Copies of this chain bind each other. A is one copy, B any other.
Amino acid sequence: MARPSARGKIVDAACEALHTLGFNGCSIQDITDAAEVPKGSFFNHFKSKELLALEVLERYGETSRMELLLDASKPPLERLRDHFEFLTSRYAAWNYNRGCLIANFGAEMADSHPPMREALKGTLDFWCNAVAGILREAQAKGDVDPRRNPDELARFLVNSWEGAVIRLKVVKDRSPLDDFFAVCFGFLLK
């Protein structure tokens, strides 16, 4: 097996460090220490911590199993629930620490880092479009009220989820996600 490159080790370490400590809460030194590479090697691979954070956001998206939203073998609302259940299992595995990297970077970096703001916008738009597609399917099957605007409702659902995940970091259990499931799948999506 090939030895991981210094670059790869830095990205792996940054995924963990930026998610657990925040962008301003961890230094380049923290990341290179965790990666077990010399601090000086950082700038051989990255022009800035911000550019590394953009790569970490991309990696986070890739590990979020967004393909669950597109699995046409399952009924649309079941697929949507599976998607949020997968995310829930990930928060549980992190002991309700960390939260969602998108919300964390949104809270911490959206004002001060325009390239991150653009990347977050793209990530959230992609996510909302996938959810809106599911809602359209569900409307076509008669599972969701056809009077609803699927794009508006998708944005609302995704934003509500992100807010529930902020609350999860505060209460340190899954109860805010349970509230989300109860309201959304109990009566909002009817």
Binds B, one of A6-14, A36-44, A65-73, A98-106: A98-106
Known: A104-B108, A111-B20. A167 touches B159 (CB 8 A): yes
Look across to chain B and name the residue whose beta carbon is closest to the beta carbon of A163. Answer: B163
Binds B, one of A52-60, A76-84, A134-142, A168-176: A168-176
Q: Chain B's nearest CB lies how many Å from the CB of A190?
A: 10
Would A155 and B167 count as touching, CB distance under 8 A? yes
Residues of B within 8 A of A162 (CB): 163, 166-167
Q: Does A33 contact B (CB under 8 A)?
A: no
Contact with B along A123-135 (1 / 0, CB 8 A): 0100000000000
Residues of B within 8 A of A182 (CB): 149, 152, 156
Q: Does A21 contact B (CB under 8 A)?
A: yes
Would A180 and B156 count as touching, CB distance under 8 A? yes
A110–B104 Cα distance when bound, in Å, is: 11
Q: Chain B's nearest CB lies how many Å from the CB of A53?
A: 13
Known: A104-B107, A107-B99, A163-B161. A156 touches B183 (CB 8 A): yes
Known: A152-B179, A159-B176, A183-B153. A166 touches B108 (CB 8 A): no
Would B98 and A111 count as touching, CB distance under 8 A? yes
From the candidates B111, B124, B163, B188, name the one contacting A103 in the complex (CB within 8 A). Answer: B163
Would A166 and B24 count as touching, CB distance under 8 A? no
Would A163 and B171 count as touching, CB distance under 8 A? no
Would A112 and B25 count as touching, CB distance under 8 A? yes
Q: Chain B's nearest CB lies how many Å from the CB of A74?
A: 25
